[in-house]
Amino acid sequence: MPSFRSLAPALALILACVVGTGSASAEPADAATPLPRSPDTWSQHAAPLHPLFTRGDAWFAAATVASVALATRADRWAAEEAPENNGSFAVGTSHAGERLGNPEYWVPAFLAVRAVDALDHRSDRAASLIRIAEGALAASASVSVVKFAVGRARPYQTPGDQDVVRPFSGNSSFPSGHTALAFGIASAIDRETSARWVPYLVYPLAGLVGWSRMRDGEHWSSDVVAGAALGFWTARKAVDLARRRMRAP
């Protein structure tokens, strides 16, 4: 069971982004005017629905494929260089990064913040938190499916050889699950808040998770790039889909 000290980073991030932004957390990013807090009147005041999937998604997919392909060229170099950061600061930062991408710490953190919202009778903030959790769950589920299907070996399993891929073998390097979860939560929080400072906090922290996975020799650089893209996109779509359910009559 994780200690409170180990939960602190996740708790602080959720509290700062969801609780700290107040009613802004309940305001969708595409709303033209503030929305009422009552779910019963959501569909009457919300901005018109946009298509869930757009041409931008196709461009994002193409950019992701290109980025992963480029990252594979740096896999071996990154696997050799990243573990050389063995100073006390680098090791401590890496451990903190791992926790920010670990469901073991996020689930209790979500439950703790949800309890605070319940005690404070903030149904709007609670609904926003639930959508963020759904985004995180969608990111984790999608990356788990891809991991199982691809079956790529981790750097410590096949040192110097990033091309060992055995589908459905149990190997689970591609994509990085920690990175996908971190970017999924970052994307969902960003989608649920209107505060301009939020992206400058959540995405660098998510990037820290990706770095920690390479530094610890758990993932190739292309695993991290793929996990970041998949987590970001999946969580964002899950949040948008949850909003559509709320707007349904």
Identify the three-state secondary structure at position 13. Answer: helix
Burial class (CB in 10 A: 0-12, 13-18, 19+), 91: middle
Write down the residue that tokens 């959720």 correspond to. 14
Given this model, what pLDDT does residue 12 score? 53
Q: What angle do CA 144, 70, 80 make, to 5 degrees?
A: 80
**Which H/E stretch holds residue 43?**
helix 42-45
Residue 152 backbone phi and psi in degrees, to 5: -85, 140
Cα distances (angstroms) measured from residue 91 to each of 11, 85, 106, 224, 242: 21, 7, 21, 19, 38
CB 59 within 8 A of CB 206: no
> What predicted TM-score, i.e. pTM, was given to this entire model?
0.80
Question: What torsion, rounded to 10 degrees, do the Cα atoms 93, 186, 77, 61 define?
Answer: 180
CA 124 to chain centre: 22
CB 213 within 8 A of CB 96: no
Where b means 16+ CB within 10 Å and e means fewer, 164-176 reads eeeeeeebbbbbb
**Which H/E stretch holds residue 104?**
helix 103-119
Distance CA 230, CA 216 (A): 21
Given this model, what pLDDT does residue 48 score? 52
Given this model, what pLDDT does residue 77 score? 92
Write the single-letter amino acid at 202: V
Given this model, what pLDDT does residue 32 score? 39
Tell me the fold of 56-247.
Answer: Vanadium-containing Chloroperoxidase; domain 1 (1.20.144)
Q: Which residues contact 124 (CB under 8 A, 6 or more apart)?
A: 23, 25, 26, 37
Residues lower than pLDDT 70 in the chain: 1-50, 117-123, 248-249
Given this model, what pLDDT does residue 208 score? 94
Per-residue pLDDT of 19-60, as tens digits, reads: 444 444 444 444 433 334 333 333 333 445 667 888 899 999
Q: Which of 111, 101, 130, 81 is nearest to 205 (CA)?
A: 101
